[in-house]
Amino acid sequence: MALLLKNARVIDPQVELDTVCDVLVRDGRIVEVGQDLAMEKGETVDLTGKVLVPGLVDMHVHLREPGYEQKEDIASGTRAAAHGGFTAVCAMPNTAPVIDNAVGVEYVKARAAQVGKCRVIVSGACTKGLEGEILAEMGDMHAHGVKAFTDDGHGVQDAGMMRRVMEYASQFDCVVMPHCQDDSLVGEGQVNEGTCSTRLGMFGWPAEGEELEIMRDIALCRLTGCPLHIQHITTARGLQLVRDAKAEGLPVTCEVTPHHLFLTEDDIDDTYPTALKVNPPLRTAADARALIEGVADGTVDAIVTDHAPHTDWEKDREFELAPFGMIGLETALSLVLTNLVKPGVIDYGRMVDLMAVRPRAILREEPVRLEAGSIADLTVIDPDAAWTVARADFLSKAGNSGFIGAELVGRATEVYVGGYATLKDGVIVE
Ligand SMILES: [Zn+2]
């Protein structure tokens, strides 16, 4: 099958490319990138005015299957991903049952192959049942293709256990991706501890509850040599710890979410909006500014959604009773384009780095480059498409977004996975 994508602005910092040209794809791979390409037969798509980049990867997504299909499943979650411009997502293991052995890994892979609209990279738990007590079957999961381990949703409380996880993972050159949360400090914390928790009269989730585990895990990275990827970093001091670790030469990377970049604790008003209840919590405006600086200066490696779907009946409760998390797959790219690329905080090349290049490298996936021979996982963006975020447009089963009503500019219109269209003119290809 041949596919000729014509006249897009083709951007890939890996091959120092930013020019209007054509991309020819055959049998799932790019065969040529250049001017005025032609082919005998196949499908030609005119992408004049659009931007074509290596397929986006969201390395932090909750697809909720198996076990929580009322919130989301692999079919709906991957449709939401394609709708948002992604060619691959990394699924978190906090399902029911937890993905802590090879059977669970094979289940997710099989479902994704059956019903997925994008690639699904499976991450495995560090500890059995995410309980922090017994090592998960990491070696077996690795034999079944897992290259990233996380107890996301929970911090591994015991430093000795975390050391064993990292020693074990480092044998396979796998990455360990901690959700940094010290339970003894966080307890029943609902929102950032400080002005916000005082104003709303709720238990606080202190910055130190996150920063102490970041500090500890960086120390364990130094001890074990295991590649460490800090999930959803939210504070200025936490980010500085990562900056210092990188300067020291440690294999440490980190990610941020659009909600921690573009929302703050000040957005949680006295209507107690449960869509803004996330873990870790929305922090101060100064923290958000520091994270944006980290995105611009290269300290932040990846922008991820932490797409965390919940049903309406779970979120439509008192703030303290509502579960943590918000969805993000269908708004992330547009939020980044609107708030970072358009104002010139970062350029398209850096966006590609944050949302495609670095996530693949951290997850040890084959790189996608806009040159001959590469896998044809591609995202096409209409940079001028203005739209308003509306719940009715989500393909996710859930609506718990903190950005409903936001006016954004730029969105994905076409997505190709292995040369096959999963999104055309903004509509899922069935
Ligand atoms: Zn998490």
Cα distances from 369 to residues 9, 360, 413, in angstroms, run: 15, 11, 20
Q: What is the pLDDT of residue 105?
A: 98
Centre of ligand 1 from the C-alpha of residue 189, in Å: 15
Q: What is the pLDDT of residue 40?
A: 87
Element (H, E) at 192: strand 191-192
Centre of ligand 1 from the C-alpha of residue 341, in Å: 26
Cα distances from 380 to residues 345, 410, 411, in angstroms, run: 21, 11, 9
What's phi and psi for 421, nearest 5 deg?
Answer: -75, 130
Centre of ligand 1 from the C-alpha of residue 153, in Å: 4
Centre of ligand 1 from the C-alpha of residue 406, in Å: 24
Q: What is the pLDDT of residue 402?
A: 98
pTM higher than 0.95:
yes
Centre of ligand 1 from the C-alpha of residue 126, in Å: 13
Residues acting as catalytic residues: 306
Report pLDDT digits (tens) over 386-414.
999 999 999 999 999 999 999 999 999 99
**Sign of the four-CA dihedral 306, 299, 260, 334:** negative
Centre of ligand 1 from the C-alpha of residue 6, in Å: 40
Q: What is the pLDDT of residue 1?
A: 78
Q: pLDDT under 70 in the chain at which residues?
A: none
Q: What is the pLDDT of residue 119?
A: 98
Q: Which residues contact 160 (CB under 8 A, 6 or more apart)?
A: none
Q: What is the pLDDT of residue 4?
A: 98
